[in-house]
Amino acid sequence: MNFTYDDTQHAIRDLARRVFTEHERHKELEAAAQTFDDELWSALGSTGLLEVDGFLDQCIVLIEQGRTVAPVALWTRYATRRDATLAVDGVAADDRAPEIVFVRDGAVFVAPTSVLEARRTTAGAEYVVDVSGGTKIAMDPSDLLDRAVVLRCALGVGIAERALEITAAYVGERKQFERPLGSFQAVQQRAANAYIDVEAMRLTMFQAAWRIDQALDARREVSIAQFWASEAGQRIVGTAQHLHGGMGSDIDYPLHRYTVAMKEIELAFGGSTQTLARMGALL
Amino acid sequence: MSLDEVRDEARAFLSDHFPKWRKENNARGDLDFEQQRSWQRYLYEHGWGVPTWPIAYGGRGLGMLESMVWNAEKVSAGAHTFFNLVGLGLAGPTIIARGSDDQKARYLPALARGDEVWCQLFSEPSAGSDLGNITTRAERIDGGWVVNGQKVWSSGAAESDRGMLVARYDTSLPKQQGLVYLLADMHAPGVDVRPLRQIDGGAHFSEVFFTDVQIADDDLVGGPGDGWSVAMTTLTNERMSLGGGFGTFAMSFDEVVDIARRTGRIDRYGLVDIYARRTILDVLNNRVQSKLFAGQIPEAEGSVIKLLMAELGTLTADVAIDALGAGGMLAAEAPSAQQRFLGSHAMHIGGGTDEIQRNAIAERVLGLPREPRPDKEVPFKDQLRS
Ligand SMILES: Cc1cc2nc3c(=O)[nH]c(=O)nc-3n(C[C@H](O)[C@H](O)[C@H](O)COP(=O)(O)OP(=O)(O)OC[C@H]3O[C@@H](n4cnc5c(N)ncnc54)[C@H](O)[C@@H]3O)c2cc1C
């Protein structure tokens, strides 16, 4: 598999990049205490991006979303392949969609979002949901969860890629000791390691995505992608933050959103230690 | 005093006095700023306010290990706060080591009693790791100085009464030589503090602007030109108080084990790693202590301890959050772990970044050649031009 984009994929990437970039407005949303960007959501609808259905194409769109850490729960819609949100371990990313999908006792259930007690948590856009009710639907739970994991990994690739770009630009500009920070080898080597991590995340993600797309057994590849997204993802945003010095702690600067979003990617599926344990069981 | 004696005395004191103080002051739950201040005053009045300071200034002359024992006892009694860490851990020791008798008399008692809170006004937008690059100006006037410029990332500045200020008085000297170290009044006309919001949700640091702020000669520490070396005294103390305070900065080992037990996600390797690192830090602190007793200044150990401490903080927060699983994202369920995770990056930055500490170890301990620093001998004003 050669994971370079073909012409159609380039077109999807370009469109997605344009839509997400045009709607990058975190401060405005935060000031209004909005955790979901409605305008972006309708732009995704009107440009057809909500309806993208090839799995690889969906991953490409999510990389672009990750680049702007846009607050919409697109991945749950792609994973469930219906106008629904997905709850994992009783936690859902939003309660906008008319339905909520979840896995219980090895089967997939759906329920109208309204009947569930969705409770906003102080962390922001997470909802704790009661998943005891619902109607069973014919969907393979492991396929659903595999897709969800890989879509989140794709988000992570975009987050990581952009965080590193922002960082490279910053250390290229900022001078200390009469020279750009980026000219110190300690800085260069850390940044170069982060680049290797980003590419490893991208390749493991696309490897898993490709197998899912081809309806091949992807359990192992999904776990590997998830592990990289968890471990390498943390290293990358850690590096990005560190190379910014004090600026990395200032929430007037955009970087903190990448750090927090990346931690959520890791935690949504139980943390990297859990992932390793699951992977061990598969080998 | 032996460590056991310190522990016994501390424990007896805290178990007797802290509940009593809480009750008398109606202080329930986490202490707010004014309650912390009042607890500091109470400690001072009972001889425990500044245990590491010399006896002459109201302290007990406790060494580092002893003070760690004291801190640990305070933590387990729930009586530990970070009240005026900068003042008690940085400003006080700097004034004790480098201040005039008059400065000691004017500032130390108010500091120890909790009456006056201090901040550190070193960093500037263009002077972070390169602290010598300070551009805030201190111009000589009759009997004192007039200060103009901007500081940044000043922790606690919004609550502070005074600040340790490093400024440039002579641009014809090389960058590290033309500096003065002044004790600034944060309430003086012309001082403008603007809080910045931080990633862990707090607003602990600020930008501070100085416009024609007058500071008398009495508040100059050392002579003109001693600014850099006095600042280094402060930074050594900063590394010590950041490094040596590990029992209190990182989440406690028991706390992480508790979380792991509760959630059943037990990362044995991670827990053991935390335990081993804590033990190593203990031993290192011990070594620093013996050096101090022998009258030596433990500079490189300060860097080693600070680095290990930052790594421990990150590791501990990671293992704790990992053990919480998806619940780790929910602030309501994991306030402490989450905040420490978000704050853990700052430990690698504040007080001199990891890279700067490693450079110090490479140059001072291993004797590796210094990186060429063409700027070091050039008059500051020529450097500005280039
Ligand atoms: C939570 C917090 C509290 C703080 N409180 C205070 C305070 O109270 N008072 C105060 O004066 N300051 C304070 N600071 C500022 C702190 O001292 C500086 O942030 C720190 O010195 C780094 O400076 P900088 O932010 O400009 O980063 P920079 O110096 O711009 O560094 C950015 C990155 O480049 C790297 N780098 C820089 N130089 C080199 C080199 N020579 N070789 C290799 N890598 C290098 C750094 O390690 C870092 O990763 C605080 C900072 C934080 C995060």
CB atoms within 10 A of CB B242: 23
Assess if residue A2 is contained within a domain: no
Q: Residue ranges of the domains in chain B?
A: 3-83, 118-226, 245-364
Same domain for A213 and A275? yes
How remote is the CA of residue B355 from the centroid of ligand 1, in Å? 10
Q: Which residues of B are catalytic?
A: 238
Determine the Cα–Cα distance for residues B336 and B315; give it in Å rounded to an integer. Answer: 14
Same domain for A196 and A271? yes
Mean pLDDT throughout A23-39? Answer: 92
Among residues A202, A66, A69, A208, the alpha carbon closest in space to that of A145 is found at A208
Whether ligand 1 lies within 6 angstroms of the CB of A183 is answered as no
| Side-chain half-sphere exposure of B168, counting CA atoms within 13 A | 25
Domain containing residue A28: 7-76
Among the atoms of ligand 1, which is closest to the Cα of residue A177?
Answer: 41
Determine the Cα–Cα distance for residues B118 and A140; give it in Å rounded to an integer. Answer: 61
From B182, B241, B349, the mutation candidate for ligand 1 (largest count of ligand atoms within 8 A of CB) is B349
SS3 B198: strand
Q: Tell me if B91 sits within 8 A of B36, measured CB to CB.
A: no
Q: Tell me if A76 sits within 8 A of A86, measured CB to CB.
A: yes
Give the pLDDT means over successive 10-residue stretches in chain B (386 positions): 87 95 89 94 95 89 79 85 91 95 96 97 96 96 97 94 98 95 98 86 84 98 96 87 58 85 87 91 75 67 85 89 72 64 84 92 90 81 71
DSSP B372: P
Decide if A186 and B355 are in contact by the 8 Å CB cutoff: yes
Q: Which CATH number fits domain B118-226: 3.50.50.60, 2.40.110.10, 3.30.1330.60, 3.40.50.300?
A: 2.40.110.10
Q: Is the pLDDT of residue A126 over 70?
A: no
Q: Tell me if B351 sits within 8 A of B341, measured CB to CB.
A: no
A173-209 residue pLDDT tens: 999 999 999 999 999 999 999 999 999 999 999 999 9
Same domain for A229 and A153? yes
How remote is the CA of residue B129 from the centroid of ligand 1, in Å? 5
Q: Which residue of B has its CA nearest to A276?
A: B267
Mean pLDDT throughout A246-264? Answer: 90
The CATH superfamily label for domain B245-364 reads Butyryl-CoA Dehydrogenase, subunit A, domain 3 (1.20.140.10)
Pick B331's closest partner by Cβ from A121, A176, A259.
Answer: A121
- pLDDT at position B289 is 65
